[in-house]
Amino acid sequence: MRAFFHPDQLRHAPALELHNGGFTAYAEVPARADMILTAIGGAEVPADRGEAPILRVHDADYCRFLREAPALWQAAGRAGEAIPYAFPIVGRRPLRLDRIDALLGRHGFDATTPITAETWDAAYASAQTALAATQTVLDGERVAFALCRPPGHHAGADYCGGYCHLNVAAIAAQAARDAGRARVAILDIDYHHGNGTQDIFYDRADVFYASVHADPASDYPFYWGHADERGEGDGAGTTLNLPLPQGTDLATFRAAQATALDAITAFAPDFLVVSFGADTWEGDPISRFRLTTPDYALLAADIAAHGWPTAIVMEGGYAVDALGANVASFRSGF
Ligand code: OKP
Ligand code: ZN
C-alpha cells in the first residue's frame, strides 16, 4: 500500500496544552509520525496541489487567520504560544451535560490547540498528504495511506480544536467529489468523535459520515457525536453516530463498525475515506477503549472486504511507542 508523508508536517510542535486544569506536555507530538514512518518503512513525499482543494472545505478568512495568528500574537507582546481563552457562544445545542469538562467547554472550542508560527505549513503539508493518497486511489489503486499529522477531524470549515487545524478527511472527501465520484463515505474510527467532519457535511446528501467513538457524554468533544445527530436538510440521514462506553473492547467495537459499514453499504459509495485513530488502543494515555494491536488488522479486513476504493487518513493515537505497530497492523488488514 502506497503511503504519503511530507517532512514539513513535523514542524508543528507546541510545547504545552491546557489539560485537566494545568499545563502539560502537548500530546500530539512530531515523534508520532517518526514512529509510524519507521514501522511502515518510509513514505513518499506528496506533490503540492496548492491551496484550492483546501479552500473547497475551509473559509479563506480562516486560512488567513491560521497563517497570521502567531505574528499578531507576537506583535501584542506575548512570549508563549497563541492559545484562545475567550469565545463567542454560537450555534450550540442546549445539551444538559453535567461533566465539569463539558460545562467549561460549553463556553468555547477549545483551549487545547496552540497555533505556532509553524502550524500553517505543517497543516498545509498534512492536507497535501491526504490529497496525494486520494489521488492515488482515484487513479486506480484500491487503497492508499496518508500519514496525516497534525490530524484533522475536529476542525470545521472555520474553526480549529482538538489538535486539528485543517480537516484532512473532509479535504480528501471533497477532492473525490470534485474528481467526479458522486457518492463519498467517511468512516471515522478514531476514539473521539469527528465533530468538524460532521459539521462540514451535516446538510449534504452526497457525503455520508459514520463515526464509532467514545460516548460524548463522558468524553471530548462533548457537544457533538450523540446518537440522535443524523444530519439535517438535504443531509438528513447521511450522518450516523455510534457512541460506545469507556472500556469498549474488540467485540463491541467491531459490532458497531459493522453497523456503520451496513449503513455505508446502503448509501452505496464510490469512494471511501477512513479517518483512522489508534487512540482506541488499550494503552492510550488520553483514551479509554481496550483494543489490542492485532485487533486493528481484523477491523481493517472488515472494511477492506467491501471493496470500496479507500483513502486512509491518520487521525489520533498518543501511545507513541505502540503507534507504529498499531498502524502497521491496521494496514496489514487491507
Ligand atoms: C484529537 B483526536 C482535555 C482532553 C482533551 C483534546 C483531545 C483531542 C483528540 N483534558 N484533549 O481526536 O485524536
Ligand atoms: Zn482521537
CA of 162 to the centre of ligand 1 (A): 5
Q: Is 154 assigned a catalytic role?
A: yes
In-domain check, residue 210: yes
Q: Pairing state of beta strands 16-19 and 143-146?
A: unpaired
Q: What is the CATH number of the domain that holds 296?
A: 3.40.800.20
Q: Are 275 and 243 a contacting pair, CB within 8 Å?
A: no
In-domain check, residue 238: yes
The count of structural domains within the chain is 1
Name the residue at shortest CA distance from atom 7 of ligand 1: 162
In-domain check, residue 17: no
In-domain check, residue 313: yes
In-domain check, residue 213: yes
Q: In 3D, which of 294, 264, 301, 261 has the Cα closest to residue 278? A: 294
State whether residue 93 is helix, strand or coil.
coil
Q: What is the pLDDT of residues 186-239, one digit of tens each?
A: 999 999 999 999 999 999 999 999 999 999 999 999 999 999 999 999 999 999
Starting from the CA of residue 220, give the closest ligand: 1
In-domain check, residue 192: yes
CA distance 71 to 61: 16
Range of the domain at 199: 2-10+28-77+116-332
pTM beyond 0.90: the answer is yes
CA distance 244 to 88: 30
In-domain check, residue 255: yes
Q: Pairing state of beta strands 143-146 and 2-4?
A: parallel
Q: What is the pLDDT of residues 27-85, one digit of tens each?
A: 999 999 999 999 999 999 999 999 999 999 999 988 998 898 888 888 888 888 877 77
In-domain check, residue 84: no
User: Helix 320-332 to helix 295-304 angle, to the nearest 10 degrees?
Assistant: 40
Find out whether the beta carbon of 316 lies less than 6 Å from any atom of ligand 1.
yes
